[in-house]
Structure 1
Amino acid sequence: MANNKSAKKRIKITKRNRLQNKFYKSSVRTLIKFFFKDLEIYKTSKNLDAKKKAEKTLNLIYSLIDKGTKKNVFHKNTAARKKSRLSSHLKLA
């Protein structure tokens, strides 16, 4: 257990940062799942509304990844790789 004031503060800050990191990472994973569901719907139906929905989800993912990168949740190369792979999935659909 923490014995001094600075150690107690570090525990508090670490907890805050862990929750923030967890939020960004889990939200991105969840949105990626929604994106692939929307993409499957578009592949089967070839409906433009389904493609727009997939693009909208992709924009949300980009936004969260960029915000997470700015707060050092994701490394910049990891963020770029994720975004690139997702956009290539949309192009191939």
Structure 2
Amino acid sequence: MANSPSSKKRALQAERRADVNKARRSRMRTFIRKVEEAIATGNVDAASSALRTAQPEIMKNVSKGIVHKNTASRKISRLAGRVKALSA
């Protein structure tokens, strides 16, 4: 356990930050799941619109430091590929 006042404060800050990051990660996963569900139904319009809303949400998590840039790019690329294959 933290002993000094500054270490106690840092422990509390880390706990709060972890909660915020968890919420943001969960929100990103929800957007990804909506795209995957639209792909599963076979609805091209719904899938492409879900992807358009998911892309900025995923990249926002990159700027917040929650996911790495390459990870986000990979997720977007794979989703886009699946949507494109659905429309073909």
Q: Could you tell me whether the CA contact under 8 Å between 1:35 and 1:58 is conserved in 2?
A: yes
**Identity over the aligned pairs, expressed in percent?**
35
> Could you tell me how far apart the structure 1 residues matched to 2:33 and 2:46 are?
13
TM superposition shift of 1:24: 2.0
> Could you tell me how far apart the structure 1 residues matched to 2:40 and 2:70 are?
27
Q: Could you tell me whether the CA contact under 8 Å between 2:28 and 2:61 is conserved in 1?
A: no
Question: For residue 89 of structure 1, what is the aligned residue in structure 2?
Answer: 82
**1:46-61 to 2 correspondence within 5 Å?**
50-61=43-54
RMSD value, Cα: 1.4
5+ unaligned residues in a row in structure 2: which ranges? none
TM superposition shift of 1:56: 2.0
The one-letter code matched in structure 2 to 1:89 is R
Question: For residue 23 of structure 1, what is the aligned residue in structure 2?
Answer: 23
Q: Deviations over 1:42-92 (max 9, x none)?
A: 2xxxxxxx3222222112221211111001001111111111111111111
5+ unaligned residues in a row in structure 1: which ranges? 43-49
Which runs of at least 4 in structure 1 moved beyond 4 Å after TM superposition?
A: none
**Quick one: which of 58, 73, 80 aligns to 2:66?**
73
Query: What's the TM-score once normalised by structure 2's chain length?
Result: 0.84
Q: Count residues in correspondence.
A: 86
Query: What's the TM-score once normalised by structure 1's chain length?
Result: 0.80
